Structure 1
Amino acid sequence: MNVIRYFLTTLLTIGCACLLQAQQLNDLRNLQVDQLSDRQLVQLLERAAEEGLSENQLLDLARAQGLPERQRQALAQRLRELPKTGGRRAEGNSTREGTMRGTLRTREERTGASVLGAQATLNRGQLVGEQADSLSLSQVLAGFDGLSPLQKQIFGYSLFEGAAEAFAPNYNLATPSNYVLGPGDEIFVEIYGASENSLTWQINPEGQVLLPQLGPLTLAGLTVEEAKERLRERLAGQYAGLRARPADTFLALRVGNTRSIQVTLVGDVKRPGTYQLPAFAQTFNALYAAGGPTENGSFRMIQLYRGNSLLATLDLYAFILEGSHAGNRLLQDNDVIVIPPYQQRVAWEGAVRRPGLYELRPEERLDALLRFSGGPAAGAFTERLQVQRKEAGQQRLLSVRKEAFSSFALADGDRIAVAEALERIENRVQVTGSVFRAGAYMLAEGMGVRALIQEAEGLREDAFTARATLYRVGTDMQQEALELDLGAILSGQQPDISLRREDVLFVRSIFDLQEEVFVQISGEVNRPGPFPFRRNMTVGELILRAGGLRQSGSLERVEIARRAKGPDGTHVMELIPLDLPEDWALSDAEAQVPLMAFDHVFVRQKAGFRREQLVEIQGEVAFPGTYALRTPNERISDVIARAGGLTDFAYAPGATLIRRTEFYQERTDFERKERILRQIVRRMEEAELNEADQVFLARLQRTLADKALLEEELSEERLLRNASAKFREERLRSDRMAFGEENELAEQESAFLFRQQELVGIDLAQILSSPGSAGNLRLEEGDIIRVPKELQTVRIRGEVLFPTTVRYREYSGLPAYITRSGGYSEQARKRKAYVVYANGDVKRTRSFLFMRFHPTIAPGSEIIVPKKPERERLPAQAWVGLATGLASLGLIIANIVQ
């Protein structure tokens, strides 16, 4: 740790860089993390990375220097969140292993050198630019969020904004034979064959290697191939097999760790300065290390100088567009790369593939710009381009035709706009309607209606040829319609009509001239509803298409409702009865009455058919449960007898009958059918099936899968049922409103009326003792007979001080029970108190003169005390008006008396 502190102190002393807000790496104890911006944190990481410190080592250094633990944890948290905030972290998480740092003068230059330094410590290789053909053009030209709008428009500017690996040297390739050796290179020599030996040298600063027993040998300045030949000549004295004919000893030379070279980049470059690069680096490596050209730098004339002479010129457009590496030379020590300012840049915009700013050489013309930008986009007008040029302090517009593209010279600052092609089609005619291939066709010279019909593969069988319409655009762009006898034109009886541009021929169908026809079926069939009409369709066929009869359906008295005209010409409905045979054979009567369009067939229910009706018995009977009614005349006593009679604990006076009201939402036949079918399918899927069962299961699954048809049938029945219930509800509500029952109690009673079930008071003891009495009601579908145990309590509800349930006391009256609940409240309507008995009967309090007659209380009763209706108080103005009226009335009476 002391060595690290000494190293960092030395670097800070010589002024390499200073931390933000006067915070240096040797003075982290006073670091205020919450006052640092993301950019300052990035610079802190870059500084630590240059000194070989990772993030964890930086945090340990801060702790050793006395940074408070709270500030150290805050620093660690900020460093973890730094990538999410958009900060650009330097490659400082891993220790810098090499020593190849550029001698830069600014913090930005040092940052650029550190990017390349992460890759510069590997062994050997070539510039990855030689395999950059794998980079897609979209990747090279992709914009980055960090670029300004102008930079995003410059073609190729984002080339140097990608990942560092895009232009890092590839060290896995063999050493090129033209590589020039120099001081610092490591050489491996392998002798194999008749003699074997391995030799390793490092070229010293004088450019020599020391051969054992042979003395120094100068290799600096030689290529790998030349050095190999010189070593073969010198070592032939020790290994004679190297000169033998044929040779039996061989020599191989390879380069290990290479030296570093210094390359200087100047001109319009983002980070000018001197960089230390691997000896295998080429021009692209240096350009990427320096960040590439600036906004004003040239991408076409990048110059490489060696020994004060121009060695090569690099054109980045050739690399981006063609993958060409011309001018991408292997760099040597003290090479200088110069990026001059661009000479000519033009704007390419409009309907083009890659709009932007392009740099042109002086000798290049407009066709070169087309090649660089990928050419016009689809649908562009390329016969003439518009060039906007600045001349003599003003704008000038030039038109360049296509034949002059290769000779037209562009000037700096020109803006070339490519217009969209017109939507206008010069040679189009169309045919629609009843033809085999409707659509647009090319208008040939002299083309007529007959030829257009032939192009459309002729007329369909349903075409109405007596009259077709040709829609035509006039010279003033007004639409006009020409009526044609198409049949006469096609048969040659009338001359053909010549077509013009944008003509549209419309051929009608005979079905366009008539109403869509259908037939309907209702009643006891599996799928009632409309069906397409077919000629000669019979009633039996329609019933079969409707899925056949339900179990309740009958083939007798099938009725056809047909539209007809009466003797006076008025429309009437003709009813045609028809009896069909039970074996579905086609009878003469049925064949003689084929269906006509819009016929409505009604299938009636079988005479005497009755679906099972279920009732339920609950409570104290011997065999409670669900029972089916044997006859429509079955009564309460009959079902009680079938249930084994009452038990010893039954309380007959408390028995109730629960019956459905007209608002009960009963399942429709289709709903019951769907529920049953789904249960069958579920059970069959869990069982082992034979072949017949599998066929039956598949049929059920197809029926249930047709949800659209099933839902339509269900919705129709629900609509009819809900409409009927809604009508009855509104009728009851209007009747109650007519009597002025608009208070809260009336609303409660109204809500009670609309319930789906209600209690019917019965006297079960009398019914069982006198089955012939009028109280022995006939039972209906869904009735529930509930026989409770002997009840021992009484409930008090409503406007009492303490609503409760109390023990039943024989001979106690209603006032006594009210007293046991704390008495009446101030809002109690005492005269209207009533009692609901256990069997559903209701009795209310009666008054005569000043006396009240309360109903008797039985076990299981419920006492209800209603609330007084709220009365609106008269305002002060009303009292004043009333007093004034009375006073006026008194004056009138006094005057009359006088």
Structure 2
Amino acid sequence: MQHTTAVSKRAAAFVLSAGLVLAGSLATAQTGAAPAPAAQATPAQQAPTVNTGTPAATQTRSAGSNTQQQQNNFDPVTGRRLTDTDRTPQDKDNTTVERTGATQPLSEFQQLVATSTGRTLPIYGASLFGGVPSTFAPVDDLAVAADYTLGPGDQIHVQVFGQVNLDATYNVDRTGSIFIPSVGTFHVAGLKFSQLADYLRTQLGHVYRNFDLTVNMGQLRSIPVFILGQAVRPGSYTIGSLSTLLNALFASGGPTPQGSLRDIQVKRAGKTVIDFDLYDLLLHGDKSNDIRLEPGDVIFIPQVGPQVAISGSVSTPAIYELHGETSLKQLVDLAGGFTNVASIASARLERIYEHTERSIIDLDLTASATTQLRNGDIVTISPILGRFKDAITLRGNVANPGRYVWHEGMRLLDLIPSRDALVTRNYYDKLNQLGSVTTQAANPDKTGELGVRSGIVAAPTTGGNSSSGAPVAAALTDTNTPFAAVNDVVLPAPDIDWSYAVISRQSKVDLTTSLLAFSPGKLFLEGDQTQNLELLPGDVVTIFSKADIRVPVRQQTRFIRLEGEFNAPGTYSVLPGETLRQLLRRVGGLTPDAYLFASQFTRESTRRVEVQRQQDFADSLDAQIASATASLANSAIGTNDPTASTADARQAVARLRRIQPMGRIVLSLLPDSRTVDDVPDLVLEDGDRFIVPRTPSSVSVQGQVYNANAFLFERGKRVKGYLHQAGGPDRLADKKRMFVVRADGSVYSQQYGNVVHANIFPGDTIVVPPILTRSNLLRNIIGLTSVASSVGFNLAALVYLTR
């Protein structure tokens, strides 16, 4: 095809994806040129050869075939012969032509619809011309229909066999005739292809006898047509003679947003021969009016007709052109009908009133289906509300949450028939997992790893420098076996909150929401019918667990873990109001080897507070490092101290942040405490852990001494004696700030007496800190965090050293 407007001269021809194939080879003539001249007979054309009994060798060719080289020499759209300057590298290699589709701007009505509905609606059918192929390869071997009319420029391939042999291709000249040597000239223009074989057989029969004949079409002629009006690329086109109206529309890019899709006209010899409605193809797949074009045809796309928009809950929201449709029902049919969530009792019609203003009309589609539409109307179909009719919602800590059918007189026990319905499915899932054989249990190489472990109750074993506070009890109760602890008591799910549940209800009068509280414990455990409240449609019943709302301590499900020197160590449930001393008596008390002074009582709530305080302290150290760094940048102080670099100080603070607090509570026990009666009456919380070690046999000396080590405990020996064993304080030691971390976690410092002469008990740790000076803040921080990491003393001691 050739396009005479300002469009890329090698725009790609394309085909309709539903199966419309551009028929015939594209002509090579320029637009407006005279019809193709009559070609001379090809080398295969020859005078008929009389059969003398010896078969003559003949050359056969496929009807309408062209060599690849011939295809490469012509633009498949314009038909113009290509030169090297016209070709891109891709054209030279693949002989494909790129088509760049321009995005059409929104029409004025589309902009109005977008403003009204909040979404941009497409013009129905316009997308058919948007996603076109970007390349095209000419098709030259399509079958020719029986009703194809021959004309100048067509090629005819004739094969004769029998008494006479003939295999030649003839071009129909401008007069509509072909010339067969030794036979004559015959006028074939205007004949149907189905008539051609009989016609030539009759003409050759005047000269020859006893022969048979076959006829095929070769290269087909090109025809000039005009595409005018509201086309994307109007102009004159030279197209294949098998091309139809749709082929030409696709080549021109289709109608513009201002062009009609429903009244596309084909004019021939001054008369309109067809009015093509593209909706017939789009909605019904009907292309019966897609006629074959003839030379000189004019395809005219008029202005778009009346347009209406429909959005919301219809199958195909879009802007539709009306062409005989007048009612709202007909518009809904064009849009594919209502969706399954459409509210047919609620619709809105926006209308332009006498080109002056806009108005809104509410429609009941059950009674307004015959409402007459006008140009510019905008119809919005609303979806149904998400409200359930006669339904109750059950949610929260229940086995089967969901929506249930409400009936007259329905009460809570009708919705939740028994207390078993309050146990969640997750509880049983977790419970079943506890009884499963895990992969670790099935692997004999991983010795000791059996069962399912949970972190609900058990706290990680502390030791070394991983936690703050003296880990004496944990260290002394750890075993030396190679087996890892993997089993623990597991709470599969949080317990039910028996004291509080609620019904959420919306008033039908003022739509306010109220909460009706009830006690599941009284209803299901005590059978109190006053708690069996009546339910109404739309109610939402919520059952809580003890993890949802913080209940009083006495109502909480509490577990405590006892480890070490107990007659029956393990994990125990805490009874309401039970204290630590009472629980120890109930479970069997302590062994004779128990060393209560070094016991370790940890609590999760305390640990969380310590974590926050530790981070605050680390933040303050970071601020001091920043201040010291700024001071060093403006002075020469510290330039000869390479060990106190800013980077080292920041790394030291980072190490401090990694220290995990234990949440230890000092029980203020005496060194000679031995019985349960010495244990304080401490109120227990869930997750508490109490470790009681055996009596240790050593005392540790850490910090700035010549031989930091653990030494055998000797009754009556004081701090001075253990310092002597450790070689005494070194030259960097701050003797005035020495302190003792007791086995129970408390600290004894110079503020409370002479540390050198202080008594020492089994499990105590003597700490000799480094000398701290204001001028060497960065080095001080490095030294303090180093001591804190190696000794593991608590945060209070560290703050004391920084004063």
What is the TM-score normalised by the length of structure 2? 0.49
Higher relative contact order (CA 8 A, sep 6+): 2
Higher helix content, 1 or 2? 1
Largest Rg, 1 or 2: 1
